[in-house]
Structure 1
Amino acid sequence: MTILLSTLNARFTHTSLGLRYLYANMKQYQAQTDIVEFTIQQNVADILEQIINKQPQIIGFAVYIWNILETTRLIKEIKALRPEIIIIIGGPEVSFEYEQTEIYKLSDYLISGWGDISFYELCHNILNKKPILNKAINGIQPNLDQITMPYDYYTDEDIKNRIIYIEASRGCPFKCEFCLSSLDKTAWSFPLDAFLHEMDKLYQRGLRQFKFVDRTFNLKKEFTSRILNFFLDKIAAFPEEALFLHFELVPDYLSDELKALILKFPHGSLQFEIGIQTLHTPTQTLISRKTDLRKAKENISWLSTHSTVHLHVDLIAGLPAETLTDFAKGFNELWSWQPQEIQLGILKRLKGTPIIRHTEAFGYKYSLDPPYTVLENNDMSFDTLNKMKRVAKYWDLIANSGRFRTILPLFLADDPFDKIWHFSEWLHKRTGQTHSIALDRLFAFMFTYLTEERNESITTVQQAMQEDFMRIGTHGWPKFLGEQPIQWKQRFQNKPKSGQQPKRQQQHN
């Protein structure tokens, strides 16, 4: 291969949509171009061997916040071994504030921003020995109808075993200062007929999980309606085929027409990711976020109580002017809207984002290493944010996992944030861990905490946790849950086969 396209994904199940866009638009060089994906868990020496064996002249690396350290080490080794190989880097992590970074100094060229067309043009100039004036190149942003779509270049193995990412539109019209999309001027849509033709081909090839990465999928009602109707037609034509769709929604844009379409989808087929981020109005103003919280509450509550959509809603801790008390109040309010999952995140100072303007006024201190997480600010101390990180981990294990669905109302009664905060303190003192806690140990800790620390009724806790344990279907019955129910063995033996839903959604359902 003359040209190699590569990246290090966070895990094997992830696929790189960006590399496939580059490959799809390589024109006459496509036959001598190859895609090779790795993961950040792999040994650098093993990756180096595979790359060198392909004998590329040019390598294009997609660089993200999760792989910049590993990619930097890899490029350093490539340049030590084969300095003649031309290295081109691109991606969000090297599109801003790159001048003093080691990876930029090691590389031959950098493309900032959109690379769909610019990567091809740079390779063309290199291979034809044309003069290239600048090491850093601003990517050309073409009209979306000028970009060849990448979906044919997901392999059958990808479709069978990995997450397939879909993009019906790019950009975002909103200006939330913690997000790189705030730098976009607007949102642009791909030509819809051509896009739906590509979706039909993926469906015919067997794809049943479509993960859309659009930042504002429901912003244009007619556009959204056509896509939803496309998948409803597939469900009607093939009712025996389970289908799972993931979309990111703007929470205060949900028309009656879209609600009517959502209600037509069968149970377990839709997941919406919704970024609330903060319910503290002064913070919203400071970060240029204009979510109508009244409408957001109305829409999320409606989705929770009237539809079968699985809701994944985001909150961010560490935003300016939001204290722990403010955050707790917002968390409790959001939980009352009844989403299945609340994803607790800690603010990150992504390169290029306008959030940096608040650094001095609010006393921000960020980690210098990716993902550049806030260490402290005037409103949340270092100790508070460290504890918040643990709360986020334990919340994910307990609430978001779907494993403790029956016991959760008792566990979180009256003041959910206070309950998970104190459980986090209690559990961390006993384990010193926030991950790799085996399921049987987690059940035991929950039982001990509720019955001994909270003095809840042993019988009440046993009954609820028995139901949770039977639903998860783990081998071995814990003695602390009392006598093994008759249904246990039957339920385990007759456990239905999972459909197209991801495991977490299956556990919630």
Structure 2
Amino acid sequence: MHTILLTTLNARYAHTALGLRYLYANLHELQPIAKIVEFTMNEQIQSIAESLLSHSPRIIGIGVYIWNAAQTSELIQTLKKVSPDTIIILGGPEAGYLPHRVDLSKADYIISGEGEVAFYELCKSILSNDAPQEHFIKAPLPDLKSINLPYNAYEDEDVEHRYIYVEASRGCPFECEFCLSSIDEKVRNFPLDQLLEEFEILWQRGARSFKFIDRTFNLNMTFANRILDFFLSKEPPYFAHFEVIPDHFPDVLKEKIARFPAGSLQLEIGIQTLDPLIAKGINRPLKLDKIMDNIRFLENETRAHMHLDLIVGLPGESIEGFGRNLDTLVSLTHSEIQIGILKNLSGTTLSRHDKAHGMVYSDIPPYDILQNNLLSFAQIQKMKRFARFWDIFYNSGSFNKSIPLVWSDGKVFDGFYTFSEWIFDQTLSTWKISLERQIALLHTYLCLRHDKAIVEAALSDDLSQRPEKTIPFFLRQSTQEKKNKEAASVTPKRQSKRA
């Protein structure tokens, strides 16, 4: 039995909740009576409640995020109906910022902000029968030099099968209006020597996949250099993911990135828009020349996998403007380009544009844009389908040779938009389209526009490393010598396809 349970609903099994592990690591004398119990958002809510209550907890702390807010609301209501005396404490961005757009009212307490100290103190008060009257608790920023690091709370199963999330800093110096990180403008760093010692322990335990959640990893060059040196000193295979500022790549950083072997390094680069006026309108700094130069460098002189982000629906940006952004990025790199739909998160200042730009958002997670004065509801819907099909056919890396046949003369957006509309007409769906169906659809579409021999040669090249049974009979060729080319790797499959 455990008096305190820490839980959340992860998006999938491979994910781990770093926030829960911070809370657990900082429970001090209460840690022996606490336990982390994670679930996924696809599990039955009543089964989750049953599992939690089987521990007979007095306190349940729940991390609430945009992807699990609706399910968490249902979980809270279920728990309170069958075990009303169990104290429920919420934290995380979906609970900590107002207004709440899902019903979290049944919770006993909500902690807003970084909860390592506040959660411990609240639990102590509750267990000593001196619970505070205040329902919404604003946590002071903890001193990152004094809190306990969470990494020994990763279990062996986590190390072997799941992402290991880590961080070297918190906060962001920028004020991008769509992002919650802009609320904490001051960047604070963890003690670097202690952090590297923890990473070494994780490495010795077998961890080979490290995902840094820092918003601006390459802002502090001392930290960036030493952390990159940590990985460069190790024997591959390993996989390290960093979110980086696109305009800040000093020569020393470029030199280190160029030394990483293929498949070992992923850089997430938040472009969002390449239009200086649009960027200025949302308080996003945009040093366009430096961004372009750095993307070219990373594309042509390193083996790093890039994950570039663009957003549909930013205030003042037309569909044509978004299309130009996409065309430009595809001309610069063959890397993954993630197309996101603008979301209006509680706690951000994005709503100040609502009147001037006619911004209308859903009140249901993920609070995505429904329309504005430049994009109708129908156009937003089409762009959501565009984004989904782009992920399937472009970002997946399954069709690197054949997908460029969808567009011509560099008009990537126009060509793929037409393809996206055609695909939806054929499927009336953006989900559960099998690989065999993807291949057949792409084959049919391309053969309407190109010589059949060219199309089938490109598709055969793309599919040559797949098992024969996944290749339609009309494309099967003798490709056995290509099928087992890939060496053992910890690189995620999607990234390895685009290497």
Secondary structure at the aligned position of 1:37 is classed as strand
Letter in 1 for 2:472: P
1:112 is aligned to 2:141: no
Per the alignment, residue 375 of structure 1 pairs with: 370
Secondary structure at the aligned position of 1:330 is classed as helix
Any conservation in 2 of the 1:17–1:165 contact (CA below 8 Å)?
A: yes
The change in CA–CA distance for 1:424 and 1:99 in structure 2 (over 3 A counts) is: closer
CA distance in 1, matches of 2:485, 2:467: 8
Any conservation in 2 of the 1:312–1:339 contact (CA below 8 Å)?
A: no
Per the alignment, residue 134 of structure 1 pairs with: 134
Per the alignment, residue 232 of structure 2 pairs with: 232
Per the alignment, residue 502 of structure 1 pairs with: 492
1:491 is aligned to 2:482: yes
CA distance in 2, matches of 1:398, 1:99: 36
CA distance in 1, matches of 2:494, 2:205: 25
Per the alignment, residue 470 of structure 1 pairs with: 464
CA offset digits 1:441-471 (Å, max 9, x no partner): 111111110111x2x0111111111110113
CA offset digits 1:417-442 (Å, max 9, x no partner): 11110000000000011121111111
Any conservation in 2 of the 1:403–1:472 contact (CA below 8 Å)?
A: no
Residue 478 of structure 1, CA deviation: 2.0
Secondary structure at the aligned position of 1:475 is classed as helix
Residue 131 of structure 1, CA deviation: 4.7
Per the alignment, residue 453 of structure 2 pairs with: 459
Per the alignment, residue 73 of structure 1 pairs with: 74
Per the alignment, residue 404 of structure 2 pairs with: 409
The change in CA–CA distance for 1:362 and 1:129 in structure 2 (over 3 A counts) is: same
1:447 is aligned to 2:438: no
Secondary structure at the aligned position of 1:316 is classed as strand
Structure 1, gaps ≥5 residues long: 236-240
Alignment of 1:393-432 (within 5 A): 393-414=388-409, 415-432=411-428
Any conservation in 2 of the 1:310–1:339 contact (CA below 8 Å)?
A: no
Structure 2 length normalisation: TM-score?
Answer: 0.97
Residue 474 of structure 1, CA deviation: 4.9
Letter in 1 for 2:45: V
Letter in 2 for 1:384: Q
CA distance in 2, matches of 1:395, 1:473: 24
Letter in 2 for 1:181: S
CA distance in 2, matches of 1:184, 1:339: 34
How many equivalent residue pairs? 497
The change in CA–CA distance for 1:257 and 1:82 in structure 2 (over 3 A counts) is: same
CA distance in 2, matches of 1:56, 1:109: 16
Any conservation in 2 of the 1:57–1:86 contact (CA below 8 Å)?
A: yes
Any conservation in 1 of the 2:10–2:41 contact (CA below 8 Å)?
A: yes
CA distance in 2, matches of 1:436, 1:13: 21
Residue 361 of structure 1, CA deviation: 1.0
Any conservation in 2 of the 1:444–1:480 contact (CA below 8 Å)?
A: no
Residue 489 of structure 1, CA deviation: 3.0
Residue 405 of structure 1, CA deviation: 0.9
Residue 165 of structure 1, CA deviation: 0.6
Any conservation in 1 of the 2:4–2:35 contact (CA below 8 Å)?
A: yes
Letter in 1 for 2:330: W
Per the alignment, residue 238 of structure 1 pairs with: none
Residue 408 of structure 1, CA deviation: 2.8
Per the alignment, residue 317 of structure 1 pairs with: 312
Any conservation in 2 of the 1:498–1:506 contact (CA below 8 Å)?
A: no
Any conservation in 1 of the 2:166–2:212 contact (CA below 8 Å)?
A: yes
Secondary structure at the aligned position of 2:419 is classed as helix
Structure 1 length normalisation: TM-score?
Answer: 0.96
Residue 133 of structure 1, CA deviation: 3.4
Structure 2, gaps ≥5 residues long: none
Secondary structure at the aligned position of 2:355 is classed as coil
Residue 200 of structure 1, CA deviation: 0.2
Alignment of 1:6-405 (within 5 A): 6-98=7-99, 102-103=103-104, 105-235=105-235, 241-405=236-400
Q: Percent identical across equivalent pairs?
A: 46
Any conservation in 2 of the 1:316–1:345 contact (CA below 8 Å)?
A: yes
CA distance in 1, matches of 2:468, 2:433: 15
Letter in 1 for 2:31: Q
Any conservation in 2 of the 1:218–1:253 contact (CA below 8 Å)?
A: yes
Letter in 2 for 1:444: A
Any conservation in 2 of the 1:58–1:88 contact (CA below 8 Å)?
A: yes
Letter in 2 for 1:499: S
The change in CA–CA distance for 1:502 and 1:474 in structure 2 (over 3 A counts) is: farther
Any conservation in 2 of the 1:300–1:339 contact (CA below 8 Å)?
A: no
Secondary structure at the aligned position of 2:110 is classed as strand
CA offset digits 1:303-342 (Å, max 9, x no partner): 0011100010000000001001111011111111114111
Any conservation in 1 of the 2:101–2:364 contact (CA below 8 Å)?
A: no
CA distance in 1, matches of 2:222, 2:56: 48
The change in CA–CA distance for 1:476 and 1:25 in structure 2 (over 3 A counts) is: closer
- RMSD over equivalenced CA pairs, Å: 1.3
Any conservation in 1 of the 2:69–2:102 contact (CA below 8 Å)?
A: no
Residue 156 of structure 1, CA deviation: 0.5
CA offset digits 1:232-273 (Å, max 9, x no partner): 1113xxxxx401111001000000000001111111111100
CA offset digits 1:251-301 (Å, max 9, x no partner): 000000000011111111111000000112211111000121110110011
Any conservation in 2 of the 1:272–1:309 contact (CA below 8 Å)?
A: yes
Residue 491 of structure 1, CA deviation: 3.0
CA distance in 2, matches of 1:64, 1:489: 45
Secondary structure at the aligned position of 1:215 is classed as coil
